[in-house]
A and B are shown apart, each in its own frame.
Chain A
Amino acid sequence: MIDTIASFLYGFLEMFQYTFWRRAIYTGILASILFGIVGTYVVIKRIVFISDGIAHASFGGIGLAIFVSYYFFTLDPLLGAAIFALLSAVGIGIMSKEKVQREDTAIGIIWVMGMAVGALFYRITPGYKPSMDSFLFGNIYMIGSTDIYLLVFLVIGVLITVVLFYYELQAVSFDDEFAKIAGLNTDAIYIFLLILVALSIVFLLRFVGIILVIAMLTIPASISSGISNDIKKIMFYSCILSLVFVLCGLSLSYVFNTPAGPSITLFAGGVFVIDMIKKKVKT
């Protein structure tokens, strides 16, 4: 037992010797802030399905960017993903503003169309290209220093937003109709929130991938929302929990030589299940 813990700790420290592991850890620390804050809104505003839709739709941009890069000009897959994610975020925001009937159906379709566009253009593009599953499940070896700088900007942006518009976001999340009557431009705030979700997803794509990102946007906030009635505190606990999940997951991944994204996600999922059982036993 002690041996295992010792080798685990040793492994954790050893990771810092390698540039890409260091980058993974820095990314993980920044990611925890996004998972904690943006994830709290995803959970309390109940936009998990919408967020997952945006994440999957972004794959269309990846496939298209790879295709364009081969035949026309170089386009970073992440830029393609960002364009698709932002378009679907704004599209979904407008749908909700216009009160489109069966919104969930429409979101499901956007979700699948994005994936289909991505898969199609990915497959028809010949030549060397990054593997598809590094986009779907993340690949920390692909994280570059630019990715970390971009992430720093996003984190700062999210922090400023939350400090300035905490009560506005709380009002829109709790009771959109009343917030509108109280004088807020709720549609703009909602679309802005979806844009933050979209950017978080895209910027963390290399870290945990399109498919796994939603786990980290929901699990920490979901566990934390059982602890407090105060959104600020829930965010804080979620950030801490995310950090624990990310660091443990990365260490596990290093020690057992497993892929980082799935390791983090499974670790978080395990804690989530234990937390659920604990809550059930209590009641």
Chain B
Amino acid sequence: MVKEDNRVESGLNALDIRDLSVKLGNAEVLKNVNLQLERGDFLGIIGPNGGGKTTLLKVILGLLKPDEGEVTIFGREPKKARDKVGYVPQYTDFDSQFPIDVMNVVLMGRVGKLGFRPFFSDEDKKIALRALERVEMKDYKERKISDLSGGEQQRVLLARALTTRPEVLLLDEPTASVDERIKTSIYKLLKKLNREEGTTIIIVSHDIGFLSSYVEKLACLNRDLIYHGGSELTHEMIEESYGCKMDLIAHHHHTEVEGGHKT
């Protein structure tokens, strides 16, 4: 499914990253990253904190400009492909005191289509409620966002991303501070979106266990991207991307760390 370095058939990849390098200030956060995903791919990205995972997502979203290289989504540059892309940021990015209820957060996904209309349509509200239903948060729609737990907030943010009807869905650690039951339901929902609607999904996470059982492909990111065709992890891959943090990862439950060379 994935064509590494197959430049002949670049066609309309869901995502096409070529020789991407990004500097923030003087630090080179991403170096020579190459990644091609077809429609319907489900990729997990792991890597140490500060390894450039969030930066990579922001480049794909067109929020950061690459210093070198090129990123396209269905053949279009990121800024012009935003109508196809959904984003679930880390929930810690928000002002915890912001006065807004869950329904209004989810409706934000429809805000780009408002134009000069002063109100959301019934259609918009239906889409938002449906999204809340899918993440099992419908009963919370009138609650203030800051009164929810971290896991609940993350599910609301996932619902918000769904209301944009994305063809490519990017998630930045959506299951941090979520219990196992909710984690399973989030991964199941993503799997369903991926299978039934053909949504291309890129998920950044430390949940190596969950990733290897749900995603199709894994990549490790620590400044440069080590791409792995399958979802099994190799010892070498973890070591190379996490460096000294390897022990910590290897003891994570679910994790199957295989010795030897897999590639």
The answer to whether B63 has its CB under 8 Å from any CB of chain A is yes
A175 and B108 within 8 A (CB)? yes
What residues of chain B lie closer than 8 Å to A168, measured between beta carbons? Answer: 111, 114
A-B contacts, 26 of them at CB < 8 A, read A167-B108, A167-B119, A167-B120, A168-B111, A170-B104, A171-B108, A171-B111, A174-B98, A174-B108, A175-B93, A175-B94, A175-B108, A177-B61, A177-B63, A177-B93, A178-B108, A178-B160, A179-B108, A179-B111, A181-B63, A182-B110, A182-B164, A183-B113, A225-B97, A229-B99, A230-B99
Contacts of B25 in A (CB 8 A): 101
Residues 114 to 163 of chain A near chain B (Cβ within 8 Å):
163
A101: chain B residues within 8 A (beta carbon)? 25
A278 to B113, CA, bound (A): 42
Check if A164 is an interface residue, CB within 8 A of chain B.
Answer: yes
| B98/A44 in contact, CB under 8 A | yes
Bound state CA distance, A167 and B116, in angstroms?
11
Interface size on B, residues (CB 8 A): 34
Q: Are B63 and A180 in contact (CB under 8 A)?
A: yes
Interface presence of A46 (CB below 8 A): yes
**Residue B144 interfacial (CB < 8 Å):** yes
Q: Please classify the interface of chain A as helix (H, G, I), strand (E, B), loop, or mixed, using the class held by over half of its residues.
A: helix
> By the criterion CB–CB under 8 Å, are B100 and A174 in contact?
yes
**Which of B83-91, B205-213, B225-233, B239-247 lies at the interface?**
B83-91
A-B CB pair tally, cutoff 8 Å: 81
Chain B residues close to A by CB (< 8 Å): 25, 61, 63, 82-83, 85-87, 89, 93-95, 97-101, 104-105, 107-114, 116, 118-120, 144, 160, 164
* Residues of chain B with a CB closer than 8 A to A177's CB: 61, 63, 87, 89, 93
The 8 closest A-B pairs by CB, nearest first: A183-B112, A182-B112, A229-B144, A171-B111, A229-B99, A171-B108, A181-B87, A182-B111
- Please give the residue numbers on chain A whose beta carbons come within 8 Å of chain B beta carbons, in ascending order: 44, 46, 101, 163-164, 166-168, 170-171, 173-175, 177-184, 225, 228-231, 234
The CA of A70 and the CA of B40, in the complex, are separated in Å by 71
Residues of A within 8 A of B87 (CB): 177-178, 181
Closest to B102 in A: A229
Complex contact B99–A231 (CB within 8 A): yes
Which residue of chain A has the shortest Cβ distance to B79 in the bound complex? A180
**CA separation between A163 and B86, bound complex, in Å?**
27
Starting from the known contacts A177-B93, A178-B87, A229-B101, 5 additional A-B residue pairs (CB-CB under 8 Å) come to A167-B111, A181-B61, A181-B63, A181-B85, A230-B101
- Bound together, the chains give a CA A167 to CA B93 distance in angstroms of 20
